[in-house]
Amino acid sequence: MASLPLSCATTTTTSATPLRHSSPPPLFTKPSLFITRHANGSHHHRGLHVISAQKQNDNPESTHPQGKLDRRNVLLGMGGLYGAAASLVSTPPEASANPVQAPQLDKCGTATDLNTGKKLDLNCCPPVTDNIIDYKIPPALRMKLRPSAHRVSAQYMFKYNLAVDRMKRLPDDDPRSFSQQAMIHCAYCNGAYDQPGQGSLDLQIHNSWLFFPFHRWYLYFYERILGKLIGDPTFALPFWNWDNPKGMTIPPMFLDEKSAIYNSKRNQDNLKAIVDLGMTGNKDPLQVVSNNLTVMYSEMIRGNADVYDFMGQPYREGTAVNPGPGSSERGSHTAIHVFVGDPREPSGEDLGNFYSAGRDSLFYSHHCNVDRMWTLWQYFLPSNKVPDKKITDPDFLNASFLFYDENKQLVRVSVKDSLDNLKMGYEYERVDLPWLDYRPPPQAAAARITRTSASAAPKAETLFPLKLDRVVRFEVQKSKKGKADELLVLENITVDTTKFLKFDVFVNDEDDGATELDKAAYAGTYAQVPHKTANKTATTSIRLKLTELYDDMDVGDDDTIVVTLVPRHQGPGVTIGGIKIIENPTPPPS
């Protein structure tokens, strides 16, 4: 059983009110999104910059326009962790084609149940109009503060319930109604839309670099509609703080059966249980929390070699299948969908299936925290861990979507306008990040498996392609003896996209059960929520950065490592074409 450090088990949070400078009074300020935890377990607040409310430079390649704050240096006095932060421009992995364009609403079709592959007896399509305008983000005269859902006041809960109740009372054909807002996710995620000009090729906003920008815009308009319905332009959605031990249960306000935000289609065994971000099935609460913090550290810091490992792979016009999810999407994001979805329902409704996820108000708080992870990753994580944080590929920046705004106006939005949450007028309550320094402890001795079990493990080349229906262990040749900066690449992963699938990857681990993730041997994960592709199957690859793992396990001088793959899903569904170790083409700066 894991033993949690006291500083994690007793995590504290701060007031939701942003710290402010006394003079001159700014229009809004940027609070710290977290408190650093010092070695002695104490907590300390840091100074803040004041942010100007002037209009930001619209050029996405301009990193420091006059008057725009570099938020990488918001936390003064942080030393090497933040003072050395730098957003390096990443090189697109392939030549540009054309960006994915906003769908044609008049060509919206029948959506598909991704768990069964059958067409849904459901119309996910929005109202159709020819009156489409390009959206311009209004000036943020007062910054919205999205609070932690576990910490909100009774007054906030009343306001939130009132807003959702009024949204649910709108006529179903009103694009602002709760049912129409829920259908947005169905239409964009369950195959109701085709890519414009690409025949019957599905449009899918998951499992690629569109994942974060699409959901950010989705929440943006949903939030503005709720605020308009109660006459409060400052209203902000709450985020489910599942990355913090104090937030690792469903927020209590969503369990009140009399409230407008209640939903009965949830896993009844998990209503008050600790979320299992690792989906290991471990029943020890302390171990589950420790696993969760390890998962967060791995997907946010340890396992990413470049921006695409976190954001997702490029998805361009004419892409037949989704190229691959980023670490956050395939990790904690997927785990929460599966954790909350109701196994009593045919396809895991509501949160466990894309077409129905938006029917649960908890979905929007879940994705607020997903969006918060993007914000943290962009501006507050150390650059020496993840040097590339920007994508300047025009096929990414110019991808577009359609939404109805709070005035029932159909608007076209682009990815490039979603890259700055402050420009969009909102920020997040600052809370502690206990996973920020939750690096697994170094193994006490050199990895014993290289001496005891390696000779019994078959060579990787004798097993692949491999159908992963059981725990599998094999030996992989390193790219170069002593090379610490390497990537483990699992390629040609062919999946049944209509199934929930997950497997974990361990290196030089002697435990085939592996329900404990808080150890140096844990390299990372692959997971997917069911989604639609034209042929029901998709092929992708994942990369797992090994730099810290090599350091923590003292295997740098070995010629080979032993990899263990542990499936968490039931039955087959994943075929892996090959596995290899390569040198990291984008090593962090020295």
For the chain, domain boundaries = 88-428, 449-583
Q: How far is CA 43 from CA 10, 35, 46, 74, 267, in A?
A: 12, 6, 10, 18, 36
Q: Under a CB-based contact definition with an 8 Å cutoff, are residues 4 and 286 in contact?
A: yes
Distance CA 327, CA 299 (A): 5
For residue 27, the model assigns a pLDDT of 31
Q: N- to C-terminal Cα distance for the chain?
A: 37
State whether the Cα torsion 578-569-522-531 is positive or negative. positive
Is the sign of the CA dihedral 272, 275, 281, 285 positive or negative?
Answer: negative
- Beta-carbon contacts of residue 145 (< 8 Å; ≥ 6 apart): 16, 18, 236, 426, 427, 428, 429
- DSSP H or E run through 362: helix 361-379
List per-residue pLDDT tens for the chain, 590 residues long: 454 543 333 333 333 433 233 333 333 333 334 333 333 333 333 222 222 233 333 333 333 333 333 333 332 222 232 223 233 234 444 444 799 999 999 999 999 887 777 888 888 999 999 999 999 999 988 999 999 999 999 999 999 999 999 999 999 999 999 999 999 999 999 989 999 999 889 999 999 999 999 999 999 999 999 999 999 999 999 999 999 999 999 999 999 999 999 999 999 999 999 999 999 999 999 999 999 999 999 999 999 999 999 999 999 999 876 788 999 999 999 999 999 999 999 989 999 999 999 999 999 999 999 999 999 999 988 777 666 789 999 999 999 999 999 999 999 999 999 999 999 999 999 999 999 999 999 886 555 555 445 457 999 999 999 999 999 999 999 987 666 789 999 999 998 877 888 999 999 998 766 799 999 999 999 988 776 655 678 888 899 999 999 989 888 678 899 999 999 987 777 999 999 999 988 755 44
> Radius of gyration over alpha carbons of the chain, in Å?
23
CA-to-CA distance for 527 and 519, rounded, in angstroms?
Answer: 20
CATH classification for the domain delimited by 88-428, as one of 3.30.1490.100, 3.40.50.970, 3.90.550.10, 1.10.1280.10: 1.10.1280.10
What per-residue confidence (pLDDT) applies to 87? 33
Strands, DSSP E only, in 191-328?
none
CA distance 209 to 132: 25
Q: For residue 373, report the phi and psi dihedrals to the nearest 5 degrees.
A: -60, -40
Catalytic residues: 185, 206, 215, 333, 337, 354, 367
Q: Give the model's pLDDT for residue 344.
A: 96
CB 236 within 8 A of CB 225: no
DSSP-assigned beta bridge partners for residue 561:
476
Q: What are phi and psi of 537, to 5 degrees?
A: -125, 155
**Beta partners for residue 583, in sequence order:** 486
Residues within the annotated binding site? Answer: 185, 206, 215, 333, 337, 367
- Could you tell me which residues are annotated as the binding site for Cu cation? 185, 206, 215, 333, 337, 367
Could you give the CA distance from residue 213 to residue 6 in angstroms, rounded to a whole number? 36
Q: Is there a common fold for 88-428 and 449-583?
A: no
Could you tell me the pTM of the whole model?
0.81
Residue type, 431: V
User: If you ran DSSP here, which 8-state letter would residue 347 be given?
Assistant: T
Contacts of 6 (CB under 8 A, 6+ apart): 41
Domain covering 449-583, topology:
Jelly Rolls (2.60.120)
**Residue 585: per-residue pLDDT:** 82
H or E segment to which residue 496 belongs: strand 486-496
Token pair for 113 = 């149940």
10 C-beta neighbours (distance < 10 Å), count? 12
DSSP state for residue 377 in the 8-state scheme: H
CA 583 – CA 568 distance, rounded (Å) = 29
Residue 340 gets which letter from DSSP? H
What pLDDT does 15 receive? Answer: 38
Tokens of 252: 């209590």
Q: Look at residue 481 in the predicted model and tell me its pLDDT.
A: 67
